[in-house]
Chains A and B, each alone.
Chain A
Amino acid sequence: MPLTKITKKSIKGSLLLQYKYIDLSDSSLTSNTQGFTRHGEVLELTPLVGDSILEVTFSANIRQGSTGDDDQYEFALYINGEQEYLESQLLGGQASGNAYSVHGGEHDRVTAHVQYASFAEKIQNVGLVHCHQPGNTNKQEIEIRFRCVDSNSKSVHMSEGFLIAKEMGADNAGLSGTLN
């Protein structure tokens, strides 16, 4: 058999060290819940290396099924109880507070000359990508929380949540997560 020349190609890089995910349980918030409340379960990841990068991805649906005017919501990524990333004013931002009250004028999310109007049964896909560098090998508790923004808001539901956290080693080949 003829000899085959072996070509040596060296590639420097880092390794995926851990991959964890959770299919989050559906969650509901009763109306007027303004404090951030956890959606589903907590994902725990203890970095193997102190300078790792944790990449977090998440997707879900958020739904508000009641009629009413104050229906703005927020969801956020929390790590060890600290808020890392926030998306606000989902389902519409601050409403004008005028639903059901008068003929004409401005109603919530519907403007000019509308009679008695508000919206119901709204659902949106939501998600995030984010990265976090803990800088140590302590356990990281990663969770999604959500809340109603208004004090007289309607109940809201979060469903089909899926959360992934990946630890990527950053010490090989000079790899570092850098803010561009």
Chain B
Amino acid sequence: MNAPSAALRAGRDPYHIGHVPATGEPEYTGHGAGGPAPKRIVVGYGFWIFILSDVILFSAFFATYTVLIHARNGGPGPRELFDLRNTAQETACLLLSSFACGMTSLAVARRSLLWTEVTLALTGLLGLTFLVLEIHEFLGLVARGAGPTHSAFLTAFFSLVGCHGAHVSAGLLWLGTMMAQFPAKGFKESIRHRYLCFSLFWHALDIIWIGIFTVVYLIGFLTP
């Protein structure tokens, strides 16, 4: 510790606190010593914390489903209820939607309004198709008497998958507002940060869906 204190006595700033060199790369980016991080890094980090808290919420629903999968009250189980073809279609829709959202990010970085709007519309349409497939599945189950009130297993199923569907619905509303904000307000910094948060949200929903089709549908299908 001798060298820094000597440097301090000499009136210098050995750790470059709050200081970015006038030329070249800051030396300590990401370690707190190169001055405050750029705002988009801070915004992304904050929203990432929210997403992780949302994932923790989902983990409780996943645990509930796994624990209650045998609590069927004499009713049907996953093997009788689930149509894996429908699940595969939903999975494809959401994966392609996530990819389209990535394409939007490329368009936003290049300030291309046309491509931003086109790829956002594609993202939204694929998300909407997913939602329609899911609602169709839910209505079919309820029509067969396998609604959420029939057994603890079905309550857990509708809670978990429905919670994800609610997130997708909220994401679609957000997507709609983004489609309006880009033409109305342009590619301002604040709008681009807003879009960054949306893209994190949308990609994260696809990650949750990986857990759902694996644990709820596929492993559920194998559970007698």
Question: Does A associate with B in a complex?
Answer: no
Hey, which bits of chain B sit against chain A, CB under 8 A? Answer: none
Spell out A's residues near B (CB within 8 Å): none
